[in-house]
Amino acid sequence: MAASAAARQRSGLTALYLGIFAALWLSVPETDPQLGPFLVAGSIVALLTAGAGGALVIRSRADGPFPRDTVADRKYLVIFAAELAAAGFGAMLLAVTHRGEYIPVLAAFVVGVHFWPLAPVLTDPALKVLAVLVCLAALAGLIAGLVSSVMPGEVVGAGVGVLLLGYALGALLRAGMALCRSHS
């Protein structure tokens, strides 16, 4: 499989997964009616992005099978399991201590942190930038929840959703550029 085809397939997978998760995060906020249409529109764009990513993966498979790296796959699963365990245990603690409104903050922080070790595993150094930005969105949600009447989930859901959507769209753009280069 040509390197550009593998890159397109990785970009497609990125757009697929992050598009789905962006739509999920954008559905977290329970906001006033003014913000609702923007979140719905963002969710629709995120799902369309995921669909385009899926189509790119299917199309790039015509160039040959995606090369598997069993070592990277194992590292990915360990990171993913640690993320789920940390988020689940933390959410349980927050629920037991009657601080459930901060579960989205914790989840966003854990998601942000998990992008850092994933960057070398997925050979995508820009994931470290996404990691920092998602953690900052979690911090913004925490601060908003502590100092205002705004629910932390509103800030975190919208913030993380937009960040993941932007990254997914960027992956599609990179794949399109790679496709244009391979045809020239």
Could you tell me the pTM of the whole model? 0.90
Contacts of residue 120, Cβ cutoff 8 Å, sequence gap at least 6:
none
pLDDT band at 1 (very low <50, low <70, confident <90, very high): very low
For residue 114, the model assigns a pLDDT of 96
What Cα–Cα distance (Å) separates residue 181 from each residue in 27, 64, 107, 174?
A: 36, 19, 38, 11
In this predicted model, what pLDDT tens digit does every residue of 21-52 receive, in sequence order? 999 999 877 766 667 788 889 999 999 999 99
Average pLDDT, stretch 48-74?
Answer: 85
For the residues 72-89, what does the mean pLDDT come to? 94
Instruction: Name the one residue in this structure whose structure tokens are 């502590």.
Output: 146
Distance CA 62, CA 179 (A): 14
Q: What percent of the chain has pLDDT over 90?
A: 67
Encode pLDDT of 135-160 as tens digits.
999 999 999 999 998 889 999 999 99
Residue 80 predicted with pLDDT over 60: yes
Q: Phi and psi of 27, rounded to 5°?
A: -90, -5
Q: Tell me what the pLDDT averaged over the chain comes to.
A: 89
Q: Report residue 182's pLDDT band, with 50, 70 and 90 as the boundaries.
A: low
Share of the chain above pLDDT 70, in %: 93
The domain limits of the chain are 3-183
Compute CA distances 77 → 71, 109, 121, 155, whole Å: 10, 19, 11, 29
On whether the CB atoms of residues 50 and 168 are closer than 8 A, the answer is yes
**What is the Cα 38 distance to its own chain's centre?**
19
d(CA 49, CA 121): 23
7: pLDDT strictly greater than 60: yes
Give the range among 93-97, 109-113, 173-177 with minimum mean pLDDT.
Answer: 173-177
Mean pLDDT of 164-172: 96
d(CA 121, CA 36): 36
Residue 172 has pLDDT above 50, yes or no: yes
